[in-house]
A and B are shown apart, each in its own frame.
Chain A
């Protein structure tokens, strides 16, 4: 079993829809990162979480440390949100472990 599991693997949505991407992990962590990679593009950090909730524009990220679960929400989705979203956890002992990513496609 992977130490970081993301779901869904692929997601297609219509413009304007509310989107949720989930990340579950099985190791002790000091932080969790949500990253975005557009097709052919670099990897950009969206959020770093160690507890609670963060919001940036239409993006919201939450983490439940007890349940070892995080969610990334996109409100009022737009075609430019189409990208791969990656969850990464920083282990308490230091290394980063990545999920396999969620490929999001938002149709106009």
Chain B
């Protein structure tokens, strides 16, 4: 079945850029997503990219998609302490209303 993989932990200093990486196996993925989970809360959609795009920018967030390598990344510029959270990569194949989530990357922002 489909698989989505992420590294478990990332630490950065406040003000630096964070890059969270994700790889997936489903070549028919239509949309790829980044969700953010703050402590004690549910997941919240942060941004998404359609599979025919290779980059999407939204304020401090940049999503890069390498469809050939099935690699997705999320770059957070000028990382703040409020960005500390778990970030989940997810993919869907469009027709299915189900997402396949990665294990999540715990981002810790150090002062």
Q: A and B: real partners?
A: no
Q: What residues of chain A have their CB less than 8 Å away from a CB belonging to chain B?
A: none
B-side interface residues toward A, CB under 8 Å? none
